[in-house]
Amino acid sequence: MDIPTSEFQKMSIEEFDTEKLLINAARQRDQRNLQDVLIVDVDCHHYENESLKDIVEFIDDPVLRHTGQVYSGSGTGSQTPLLPGVVGYQDIAGRVMRYPLRKLEKHDPEGKHRDVQLSLKWMEALGVDYVSLFPTPMLTLGLHPQPEVEAGMSRAYNRWVVEKLLPPEKRLKSMLYLPFNDPDASYKMVQDFGDKPGVIGFCVVSTRYKPIYDNSYMKTYALMEEMGKPLAFHAGYNWNDPLLGNTNRFIVTHAMGFTIYNAMHCANWIINGLPERFPKLPVIWIESGLAWVPWLMQRLDNDYKMRSSEAPSLKKLPSEYMKDMYYSSQPMETPDDMDVLEMTFKMMNAESQLLWCSDYPHWDMDVPSIIWDLPFLDEKAKRNILGENARALFDLDVSDRFPDYQPMS
């Protein structure tokens, strides 16, 4: 059976290959000479559930570890009770072929870990130099009804990442998972993993039992600020949420879900004075797109001017704090009127605060040309967004790829 990748290139299911799948992205890379541009992808993914049998061996609790062993390797066919299920069909019922066929892709069993090998293949096709790798199914782990499962599984995953994936490949980095439903476990995660090679920050995917301004998180924020590790909020959706339960199409759930949760956390972060309390803690908002930023700036400024007494810690307008935050670009909205996007970039100080990301291999991924081709950016701004902003934020050593690297002046 053939898979149509383009009118010039076909491949069969039996020979599924990321390089062939991304042949058009590679053409764009070559046409724009992006090999000479530092490109850092701050949000890409792998499918850690395909290595679940290995990950559960890193679980500290023996009972939880045994549960994982039973459901990940027994052949029962049951869904593991350690990961909550997700409602929805992001692969568009199988038409996004890199989803159902990725398990068939060949790799060298004697080489680096399979996830490392597959990551390097798509990175080469897109022209990406370094990435921050995130999980996929585990992004919903915060919805698990048992906080101890979230804490145990996330710790096992983090150990597996820092021991098996990051050491053999300098181009792979990670912002490790924080089990936010257990504030003490989150603090210990930063303590234990903050200085591990390749760990460039920490990530929050959801909060259920406590809002992000709860005092139980303050010691974690303080420790991250002291260690110089950014805090990222990675957006997601939950169709079972009572609010999103009012939607009946995935397109609505996706468009709203990936925006509304980060907007809520961002508003809470600012109005509760956390930028003033932790002024040296970089905060990143990931996978929410960009259109929500001007909207939230205007809404918060408008209400703050009328009710500033409710935010006594603030020393400037909410929008001014948002201009100091970092934002990942994907999925970048591309309106027909480019003036709208240009104004969005201007309002968020994109030249210094925007971080390009692909979100590969998800269905709404972006390639570097989405930034490189923007008519209202000069070359310096393009290079900043594609790589320099991330290099500076995470203090990345890029000498292995660019021995004489200097930011464009």
What pLDDT was estimated at residue 97? 66
Residue 255, classified by CB atoms within 10 Å of its CB into exposed (0-12), middle (13-18) or buried (19+), is middle
Give the contacts of 42 (CB within 8 A, at least 6 positions apart): 131, 132, 284, 286, 328, 355, 356, 357, 390
What pLDDT was estimated at residue 106? 86
Q: Any idea where the domains of the chain sit in the sequence? A: 27-394
Q: Give tens-digit pLDDT for 65-93.
A: 999 888 876 444 446 788 887 666 666 55
Alpha-carbon gap, residue 16 to 61, rounded angstroms: 38
Lowest-confidence segment of 6-20, 131-145, 190-204, 325-339 by average pLDDT? 6-20
For residue 95, the one-letter residue type is R
Judge contact between 176 and 133, C-beta under 8 A.
no
Q: The domain 27-394 is classified under which CATH number: 3.20.20.140, 2.170.140.10, 2.60.40.420, 3.20.20.150?
A: 3.20.20.140
Closest CA to 289 of 329, 235, 349, 335: 329
Q: 316 falls in which pLDDT band (50, 70, 90)? A: very high
What pLDDT was estimated at residue 353? 98
Residue 232 has phi, psi (to 5 degrees) of -110, 140
Q: 1 pLDDT exceeds 90?
A: no
What pLDDT was estimated at residue 76? 41
- The DSSP string of 253-286 is HHHHHHHHHHHHHHHHHHHTTHHHHSTT--EEEE
What pLDDT was estimated at residue 239? 81
Q: 33 falls in which pLDDT band (50, 70, 90)? A: very high
Q: Which two tokens stand for residue 235?
A: 């957006």
